[in-house]
Amino acid sequence: MKKKLDRLLNQAYLVLSEQQKNQLVDFVNLLDKWNKAYNLTSVRNPDEMLVKHIMDSLVVSPYLVGEKFIDVGTGPGLPGIPLAIANPDKQFVLLDSLGKRIRFIQQVLLQLGIKNVEPIQSRVEEYTESQFDGILSRAFASLNDMVEWCYHLPNKTGCFYALKGIYSPDEIEHIQQPISLCNVISLDVPELIGERHLVILRKNNEEIH
């Protein structure tokens, strides 16, 4: 699996240390092990997890601006854990409403020695902390839902980072809150079939000129 990860990282032009690569492989092994009992992901094959979960998360890394991020609806820690491993200088809150997912993440942090992640069990609308540089999610069905439920989370210059499959410009028009579209990036995930996009949005703040 390590050889496959090396190949995928090279294809994506991502450079990680041996320790980071080992942590990613160990994360996949833990996800595979726990998945049998807790049904954390529909992806059953560890090699597929490398592509559909690890690389699908890591390709976002070069676009993250800031130090404090929250991964909303993180599930088993995606994209939060791979991004935290790749960015030890940044802090990540991983938010999910299901206890079994948070327990899994706690076990991952313990076993892999990850220090820059705080897992929290909560519904996003009940989580009142704010002032994040970035709000990450690949769980929301629509951009409007993501913005609506997470509008209280970013700081004045913070951004929403929505990991999407197919991107439709119509989605932007349906967002109810005052928002600016910063960028839509077409992501190239090695060996993944299908489109992937990163949609970056920002709240409309009068302070920004």
Mean pLDDT taken over the chain: 94
Structure-token pair, residue 69? 């991020």
Please report whether residue 30 resides in a domain. yes
Please report whether residue 182 resides in a domain. yes
Residue 209 has pLDDT above 70, yes or no: no
Please report whether residue 126 resides in a domain. yes
Structure-token pair, residue 138? 């690949």
* E strands present in the chain: 68-72, 91-96, 117-121, 132-137, 154-164, 179-186, 197-203
Full residue range of the structural domain in which residue 185 is found: 1-202
Q: Using one digit for the tens of pLDDT, what is the confidence trace for 94-112?
A: 999 999 999 999 999 999 9
Please report whether residue 209 resides in a domain. no
Q: Using one digit for the tens of pLDDT, what is the confidence trace for 40-89?
A: 899 999 999 999 999 999 999 999 999 999 999 999 999 999 999 999 99
Return d(Cα 1, Cα 53) in angstroms, integer: 14
Return d(Cα 161, Cα 208) in angstroms, integer: 19
Q: Are 172 and 200 in contact (CB under 8 A)?
A: no
pLDDT interval class at 208 (50, 70, 90): very low
Please give the tally of structural domains in the chain.
Answer: 1
Structure-token pair, residue 50? 């490398």
CA triplet 169, 170, 176: central angle to 5 degrees? 115
Please report whether residue 208 resides in a domain. no
Residue 205 has pLDDT above 90, yes or no: no
Please report whether residue 207 resides in a domain. no
Q: Which residues lie below 8 Å from residue 184, measured CB to CB, with a gap of 6+?
A: 167, 197, 198, 199, 200
The CATH code of the domain that includes 65 is 3.40.50.150
Return d(Cα 199, Cα 170) in angstroms, integer: 13
Q: What is the mean pLDDT of residues 196-208?
A: 81
Q: Using one digit for the tens of pLDDT, what is the confidence trace for 171-194?
A: 999 999 999 999 999 999 999 999
pLDDT interval class at 204 (50, 70, 90): confident
Task: Count helices and strands (H / E) in the chain.
Answer: 8, 7
Q: Can you say which residues are annotated as belonging to the binding site?
A: 73, 78, 124-125, 138
Please report whether residue 15 resides in a domain. yes
> Which amino acid is it at 48?
E
Q: Which residues lie below 8 Å from residue 148, measured CB to CB, with a gap of 6+?
A: 176, 177
Please report whether residue 16 resides in a domain. yes
What is the model's pTM? 0.95
Q: Are 7 and 189 in contact (CB under 8 A)?
A: no
Q: Can you say which residues are annotated as belonging to the binding site for S-adenosyl-L-methionine?
A: 73, 78, 124-125, 138
Closest CA to 105 of 86, 128, 89, 84: 84
Least reliable range by pLDDT among 3-17, 58-72, 131-145, 193-207: 193-207
